[in-house]
Amino acid sequence: MVMVMELLDWKNLPFGYVKTDYNIRCIYRDGEWGKMEISSSEYIDIHIAATGLHYGQEAFEGLKAYMGKDGKIRLFRWEENAKRMISSAEGIKMAAVPAEMFREAIFKVIQLNRKFVPPYGSGASLYVRPLLFGSGSEVGVKPSTEYTFLVFVTPVGPYFKGGIKPVNMLICRDFDRAAPLGTGIFKVGGNYAASMRAVIAARDGGYASTIFLDAKEKKYIDECGPANFFGIKDNTYITPKSESILNSITNMSLIDIASDLGMKTERRQVPVDELSTFIETGACGTAAVISPIAKIVDPDMNIIYEYCKDGLPGRDSLKLYNRLVAIQYGDEPDTHGWLTIVD
């Protein structure tokens, strides 16, 4: 039998699904969580009237495990993902997954699929996807009484092709990702469904993704499709504050790293016209890590904002990226206590 290491081109992995050996499943029924089960199937049985299918009771997370030079697997900030999934569950009236149960499931699934953790130096990582959805049958619009929690893993390359290579973005005013007081702060599937028309239109036009503006006034930057936005000027890392965007764990980490590097940090409203004042801009998130933005096109205003004019990432974006990735792979000290070794 050919080994997995020989089948996969680790350095050229897409950000896509690769079948692995096992996943973890657990059912919430009669007011309590049952025992975790290990499955080798890629499929699930689900009731035709499940609330996850009809009424959007579904939340998920995304985090990564990294193989270090020392052969140890490091998991990055899983506690924050556990907190966020609890918040998402409470936000759409689902049974929450306790943090310790979340930890047990993700550690177990990584251990079971250890051979799929990309080798150190490949630039790839093991993406961990916890998923929670209403699996009980309801016809009326109300919360389910049964929930399924599952976790699968897949080895992935960078979300945006080229990794740290600068990308182009398109400002969108025709569609909103989430309402100002809606579910935008939760990691639920409906938010991503709402973004697809705009994101696909941008990609069809040759852009990496779209930049959404605030839904209420269309005056402020919200986020970059599946990632948070940041801008840099005057030695300051600036990222939007909004009631309709997901709080990125990567962005939280970059704010701390920026402070470590002697930069000021601001989380505040970012007017669209402030784009002309930034020296560097970028998209950040678990999937993308950092994707520097080379150009932002505003078709409605007929304005093009240009950065990375030499085709290379900006100095500060590169510093932030290199420091974060070095911490994740164990190459630099974990001074913030973000990493957990998976034995």
Q: Is 160 exposed, middle or buried (0-12, 13-18, 19+ CB in 10 A)?
A: buried
pLDDT > 70 fraction of the chain, expressed in percent and rounded: 97
Q: Is residue 333 part of a domain?
A: no
Indicate if 72 and 102 belong to the same structural domain: yes
210 and 237 share one domain? yes
Is residue 342 a part of any domain in this protein? no
Q: Which of 151, 246, 237 is nearest to 189 (CA)?
A: 246
Tell whether 121 and 242 lie within a shared domain. Answer: no
pLDDT at 3 over 90: no
125, 156, 187: which is the final residue of a domain?
Answer: 156
Q: Say if 90 falls within a structural domain.
A: yes
In a domain, 340, yes or no: no
Give pLDDT, residue 93. 98
> Does residue 341 lie in a domain region?
no
Residue 160 has pLDDT above 90, yes or no: no
Residue 2 has pLDDT above 50, yes or no: no
- pLDDT of 123: 87
What are the backbone dihedrals phi and psi of residue 228, each rounded to the nearest 5 degrees, phi first?
-80, 155
- Is 219 an active-site residue? no
Here the CATH number for the domain that contains residue 136 is 3.30.470.10
Please check whether residues 52 and 182 belong to one and the same domain: no
Q: Is 46 a domain residue?
A: yes
Q: 230 with 301, same domain?
A: yes
Of the listed 11, 72, 187, 218, which one is catalytic? 187
107 lies in some domain = yes
Same domain, yes or no, for 77 and 220? no
pLDDT digits over 110-137, tens only?
A: 999 999 999 999 989 999 999 999 999 9
Q: What is the pLDDT of residue 162?
A: 58
Instruction: Examine the pLDDT at 140 and tell me if it is beyond 70.
Output: yes
Tokens at 258, concatenated: 């920026």
Q: Does residue 221 belong to any structural domain of this protein?
A: yes
- 7, pLDDT greater than 80: no
* pTM confidence score: 0.94
CA count, 13 A, side-chain hemisphere, 163? 14
For residue 5, is pLDDT > 60?
A: no
Q: What is the domain range of residue 71?
A: 4-156
* pLDDT band, very low/low/confident/very high, at 94 (cuts 50, 70, 90): very high
Q: Are residues 42 and 185 in the same domain?
A: no
For 273, residues 6+ apart whose C-beta sits below 8 A from its C-beta are: none
Do residues 106 and 100 make contact, with C-beta atoms less than 8 angstroms apart?
no
Average pLDDT of span 237-265:
96
Q: Would strands 303-306 and 289-298 be described as parallel, antiparallel, or unpaired?
A: antiparallel
Both 219 and 106 in one domain: the answer is no
Q: Can you read off the two tokens belonging to residue 296?
A: 């932002």
Q: How many domains, in total, are found in the chain?
A: 2
pLDDT digits (tens, 9 = 90+) for 269-321: 999 999 999 999 999 999 878 999 999 999 999 999 999 989 999 999 999 99
Q: What is the CATH number of the domain that holds 273?
A: 3.20.10.10
pLDDT number for residue 74: 98
Residue pair 68/327 in contact (Cβ under 8 Å)? The answer is no
* Cα–Cα distance measured from residue 261 to residue 320, given in angstroms and rounded to the nearest whole number: 8
Last residue of a domain, one of 102, 136, 156: 156
Identify the domain boundary among 156, 177, 193: 156
Q: Mean pLDDT, the chain, as a whole number?
A: 94
Q: Is 56 left (phi over 0), alpha (psi -120 to 50) or beta?
A: left
Same domain, residue pair 105 and 180: no
Cα–Cα distance, 208 to 204 (Å, whole number): 9
Confidence of residue 263 (pLDDT cuts 50, 70, 90): very high
Q: Do 192 and 149 share a structural domain?
A: no
Query: Looking at the structure, do residues 39 and 149 belong to the same domain, yes or no?
Result: yes
Mean pLDDT, residues 81-110: 98
Place of tokens 């790839």: 124
Question: Does 48 share its domain with 148?
Answer: yes
